[in-house]
Structure 1
Amino acid sequence: METFIIQSKEAVKLERHKVNSGYRTKKRQVFLIGSKGIPANYGGFETFVEELTKGQKSRRIRYHVACLAKDSIRYEYNGAKCFHVKVPGIGPAKAVYYDMAALSRCIKYCRARPEIKKPVFYVLACRIGPFIGHFKRKIKKLGGELYVNPDGHEWKRAKWNALIRRYWKLSEKLMVKHADLLICDSRNIEKYIKKDYKQYRPKTVFIAYGSDTPGGSMSAENEKLTQWYGKNGIEAQDYYLIVGRFVQENNYETIIREFMKTNTEKSLVIITNENKKFLQELKKRTGFEKDPRIKFAGTVYEQELLYKIRENAYAYIHGHEVGGTNPSLLEALGSTSLNLLLDVGFNREVGGKAALYWTKAEGNLAGTIEMAEKLTAKEIAVFGEKAKRRIAQEYRWEDIVDRYEEVFLKYSS
């Protein structure tokens, strides 16, 4: 049911006066392109857009959010103008089509409203590089700016064949070339951009991805939690935990192989999406199904339940090596006391001295697990305190929203 507000003639005249006198031009119009949209159901970029709009403080910014959908409706959410972009099912090219269609809609919207001055088009990820020059010329005609979040190393992901990897690398290069500003959520990504694309003299800024330690009221006796434990045959503090996408670059094979070498009596619980092909490959290569300690537990979407599962783990094992700041790592540091992280720049940047680190060298992770088994409760608690402090000091959404607003308003005066 729609609500209609009937305005007086005086109110209508006032609104027109505000527009004609340049009232609307005082707001920086920021178009967010590349997430699947809000309300956020999953995904790092979706959560970012949700938090950015929900936590907005400045009244000098107006957000517009592109949303992937099967229709073309418009609505308002978190004070942002949201619009659906209808995209056909065309396989891997769907994401490229979506970004281009969304960016076209945003440019058209601004072109029809000359009162919009200096709009920002913030594109999340580097999917449309071969076409961005065309869009950049249109953006410049509007007096706008193109901002890009380069995300992680998409061209390194094992799921892509050689041809697609070359496309992603070229696309990244061209997005960097044409961007007026690159907003990197990892200092390591920022260094990489500046080094590998120094010929373009890229202008960059670092703004971290966020994570607020959620806590929660779920008790240790909660029925959902006890049922989940019973279903998977585990108990609190008696399992190592992995949470993440079930893909090769997250090093599931290394983690499983190394865990099988240990003498720990604890379980290895894996919360992940289903990928039957990859699962069968892992069975052939590792024979993990013969080890009763290794348990695939499917997915858990309820955030309070997932937080409690993380909190009650003996330790979290993080094997991600492609990309920048990983949301699941931030969530682990905010909830799990002991974290064992793959020793790559991205993970060290986030974990600092609040975690233990392992490498892919044979026997290294097994040795790290054996070391973890010998830690006292007090030593584990110290790691947990450091991890939560790190999240609170470096990765609060409130601070990140402040930083984004500062950047978006920089050229608006």
Structure 2
Amino acid sequence: MSTTIEVNNKIVKKLEQHKTNLAYRTNKQQVFIIGSKGIPASYGGFETFVEKLTEYQTNFRIRYHVSRIGNDTMRYEYNGAKCFNVNVPDIGAAKAIYYDIAALRYCINYCKVRPSIQKPIFYVLACRIGPFIGTLKKQIAELGGTLYVNPDGHEWKRAKWSASVRKYWKISEKLMVKHADLLICDSKNIEKYIRETFPKYNPRTTFIAYGSDTTPSILSDNSETFTKWLSEKNLRANHYYLVVGRFVPENNYETMIKEFMKSKTSHDFVLVTNVTEKFLEELKLKTGFHKDKRIKFVGTVYDQELLKKIREQAYGYFHGHEVGGTNPSLLEALGSTNLNLLLDVNFNREVAQNSALYWTKENGNLAALIDKADQMCPQEINEYGKKAKARITEAYSWQHIVSQYENIFLKNIDI
């Protein structure tokens, strides 16, 4: 009798396993996302992307798996995605490289012990692990999987890196392009760069932008949270120019500060950024900004509704980024601030088109544009705001971006 029960239990278990295998095969495209710090999102572009990709998911034939930097091996579910922590030792600049490799190995091994997973997609965000990707790509191919890569921006151009690190980034980028089955570029200019720089690899590329929205802040103009912030920073609504971004040289803080100081504007210049003392001291020596009471470094703002209200109530927004593709802070500014003054580079023109004003790094150019902007009438400024929001709605809404990603991921099922 016990033998019969044992046999029946084994049959039931096999049937359950068969159902699970069938579900993996027929219903779910398994997508493993490596390279973000994880979700729930911390403050960063890739983190926000993964948060929105899972939040706005509409096609549930896709199952997302998301790596996250953590101090344990915890697994959890968030926005329907399976998330797992990767414990990364504190090894300085190489920490991000270690993390990507460890996370990708985890995902590969996860699939190895689950032969029911068919044609998994491994989507690596940024080109950090090029020298190691060849071996890992072989393992992915053995699983019947594909390697997707987001090449991000021109990381090797960033001034914060030493010459040797920039050389590593260039080599790493080349090898990631060589081994990727598909490169998903968030800028048409980055896609063009990949195709023109690496023709010998005949890279397969596609363009899917980063996303944003035009939803107003939930805070009212006279909310206590906003008015208290204004009071603490000695500011008035609609009487300040604003910049939000990483405090790094390639975002052209030096040019923006020097030009603002040359302008005749009576508005303040508010810099929402994570100040580092070394770069701040360099700027003091080069610009003397500390002698101009209009220039105000106000620290970071992590309350996203407050940050959106700060953007909405700015007279104008400066964007000096010149490295990388579609920049999240630019999209957020276009979705919230009426008047945007952008550095005239391909990446920024591609995004904003005719919904913004443009400046160059030529001496006096931005100063003259600021003075011109000060003379614009409210109707003209509002027209720019309407164009900017229309541009976001048309090409950069998260619903639109996520739909494009789902189509790309689901095509893999039929490959």
Range class of TM-score, shorter chain: over 0.9
SS of the residue corresponding to residue 64 of structure 1 reads strand
1:24 maps to 24
2:359 maps to 358
2:116 maps to 115
Task: Give distance in 1, aligned partners of 2:246 and 2:409.
Answer: 32
Identity %: 64
What one-letter code is carried by the residue in structure 1 that aligns with 2:148?
Answer: Y
1:270 maps to 271
SS of the residue corresponding to residue 165 of structure 2 reads helix
2:3 maps to none
1:87 maps to 88
SS of the residue corresponding to residue 410 of structure 1 reads helix
1:5 maps to none
1:17/1:143 CA distance change after superposition, 3 Å: closer
Does residue 213 (structure 1) correspond to residue 214 (structure 2)? The answer is: yes
Q: Given the two structures, how large is their TM-score scaled by the length of structure 2?
A: 0.96
C-alpha contact 1:214 1:307 (8 A) present in aligned 2: no
1:390 maps to 391
What one-letter code is carried by the residue in structure 1 that aligns with 2:23?
Answer: Y
| Aligned-residue offset at 1:12 | 6.9
| Aligned-residue offset at 1:139 | 0.5
2:39 maps to 38
Unmatched segments (≥5 aa) in structure 2 = 1-8
1:156 maps to 157
What one-letter code is carried by the residue in structure 2 that aligns with 1:23?
Answer: A
| Aligned-residue offset at 1:217 | 2.6
1:4 maps to none
SS of the residue corresponding to residue 30 of structure 2 reads strand
Give deviations 1:56-110, integer Å, cap 9, x for gaps.
1112111100101111111111111100000000000000000000000000000
Task: Give distance in 2, aligned partners of 1:364 and 1:108.
Answer: 55
Unmatched segments (≥5 aa) in structure 1 = 1-8
Q: Given the two structures, how large is their TM-score scaled by the length of structure 1?
A: 0.96
SS of the residue corresponding to residue 297 of structure 1 reads strand
1:219-368 equivalences in 2 (<5 Å): 219-368=220-369
C-alpha contact 1:157 1:322 (8 A) present in aligned 2: yes
1:3 maps to none
1:11/1:159 CA distance change after superposition, 3 Å: same
2:5 maps to none
Does residue 376 (structure 1) correspond to residue 357 (structure 2)? The answer is: no
| Aligned-residue offset at 1:233 | 1.2
1:71 maps to 72
SS of the residue corresponding to residue 346 of structure 1 reads helix
Aligned CA RMSD, in angstroms, stands at: 1.3
1:393-404 equivalences in 2 (<5 Å): 393-404=394-405
Task: Give distance in 2, aligned partners of 1:74 and 1:182.
Answer: 28
Task: Give distance in 2, aligned partners of 1:293 and 1:106.
Answer: 51
Give deviations 1:387-412, integer Å, cap 9, x for gaps.
00000110010111110010001120
Q: Which runs of 4+ in 1 moved over 6 A?
A: 9-14
1:112/1:16 CA distance change after superposition, 3 Å: closer
Does residue 129 (structure 1) correspond to residue 130 (structure 2)? The answer is: yes
Task: Give distance in 2, aligned partners of 1:15 and 1:286.
Answer: 70
SS of the residue corresponding to residue 412 of structure 2 reads coil
| Aligned-residue offset at 1:41 | 1.7
